[in-house]
Amino acid sequence: MSSESILPPLSVRPNTAKTRIQKLWGGIQVDFNLSTTLLLGAVLQSLLVLILPTRYAVTPAIIFLGIRIIDVVLVTKGFKPNPYLRDVVFKKSTPQVLDRNGEFNGPGQEKVAILLLAAKSNHPLGIFAPDYRTVDEFTTKMSAQLEDPMSQDAGFLGQTRFTRRDDNGATENMIISYWRSLSDVHAYAHSPLHREAWLWWDKTLSVHKHIGFMHEVFEAPRGMWEGVYINFQPVLLGATTYLRRGGKTEAGRVQDEWVSGLLDANRGRLKTSNGRRGLSGEDVEVDKFGKNYYEE
């Protein structure tokens, strides 16, 4: 069983949080449902028909649709790289939490805490609702603070953001973050920046009936968690990184490096659920299911 990550080490910590522009575009895409998008397109097309001769008015729509169709055909037939496969790890892989020195001490040997934090806009304007921008600003500041390389000492391991629309059509943004312990999550909750956001929310609660907040937090003991990814980009626990001090030598100087905890799960103990939890012997053997096609 190899203890080396299937991803190369990096000299700087990769940023797992989206930029504000990415979040804004994602929010607009979710806020604008299909009917709104079609109506906006119809209005723009009507304006072109009023301004330009018919031949020129319909040309842009035909050209853009043609480009989209050609692009799909080229990707489907293999003449053009599939953009959806960018950064995909085609191996069967498993996320493992490394120790504070960035070393792998065996499967499932570290505990992990998970924080689910979400904000939603129960308002027709979605992310453009009153004061929702303030929520986004606090979230952006806290994400940037956590993405700082020094945050590893505070127990923060990484985060992944999701945006969705609920059954009522409201926009919801969720961040799933990973920590070394529940006590680390609690300590950050009482840090100055989070307390500033907390105080702002409490003082303005009466005017924020349209803004929702939630959090859930869990701590999984060692040996009581595991995961596997097949044909997936690094995400969630698989996107966490760990500082390994003095990982390599360059020109006589010892350099730090950031390593991924994503390991090969095709062979050895890591190919079974019990093995990934750190169990061994009969517990691993009974967990096997038929032929291992991933070894081919």
Q: Are residues 24 and 132 in the same domain?
A: yes
Please state the pTM of the whole predicted model.
0.83
From 174, 193, 220, the end of a domain falls on 220
* Paired tokens of 23: 């979040």
**270 belongs to a structural domain:** no
CA 142 to chain centre: 16
HSE, side-chain direction, 13 A CA sphere, residue 3: 11
What's 127's domain CATH number? 3.30.70.100
Work out how many domains the chain is built from and give that number. 2
**245 belongs to a structural domain:** no
Q: Are residues 46 and 112 in the same domain?
A: no
Looking up tokens 């698989």 gives 238
With residue 137 as reference, give the H or E element that holds it.
helix 132-147
pLDDT score for 26: 63
pLDDT score for 205: 83
Q: Are residues 117 and 62 in the same domain?
A: no
Alpha carbon distance 59, 10 (integer Å): 47
Q: Are residues 24 and 154 in the same domain?
A: yes
HSE, side-chain direction, 13 A CA sphere, residue 175: 19
**173 belongs to a structural domain:** yes
Q: Are residues 187 and 167 in the same domain?
A: yes
Looking up tokens 């053009």 gives 80
pLDDT score for 1: 46
pLDDT score for 113: 96
pLDDT score for 24: 61
Q: Are residues 112 and 205 in the same domain?
A: yes
Amino acid in the structure at residue 183: S
The dihedral sign for the CA sequence 21, 17, 135, 174? positive
Return contacts of 163-167, CB within 8 angstroms, 24+ apart: 163/23, 163/26, 163/27, 163/30, 164/30, 165/30, 165/33, 166/120
Q: Are residues 127 and 213 in the same domain?
A: yes
Q: Are residues 114 and 174 in the same domain?
A: yes
Q: Are residues 65 and 112 in the same domain?
A: no
Angle at 267 between CA 266 and CA 273, to 5 degrees: 80
Profile the chain (296 residues) by mean pLDDT over runs of 10 residues. Answer: 76 69 61 78 88 86 93 95 92 91 88 94 87 88 83 86 84 91 93 92 87 94 93 92 72 75 87 85 59 60
Q: Are residues 51 and 136 in the same domain?
A: no
**242 belongs to a structural domain:** no
Alpha carbon distance 128, 124 (integer Å): 9
**102 belongs to a structural domain:** no
**119 belongs to a structural domain:** yes
pLDDT score for 251: 59
Alpha carbon distance 257, 80 (integer Å): 34
pLDDT score for 252: 56
pLDDT score for 195: 92
Q: What is the span of the domain harbouring residue 55? A: 33-83
**14 belongs to a structural domain:** no
CA 207 to chain centre: 31
pLDDT score for 140: 86
Q: Are residues 74 and 147 in the same domain?
A: no
From 189, 220, 251, the end of a domain falls on 220
**40 belongs to a structural domain:** yes
Packed helices 20-31 and 132-147: angle between N→C axes, nearest 10 degrees: 140
Q: Are residues 24 and 151 in the same domain?
A: yes
From 43, 66, 83, the end of a domain falls on 83
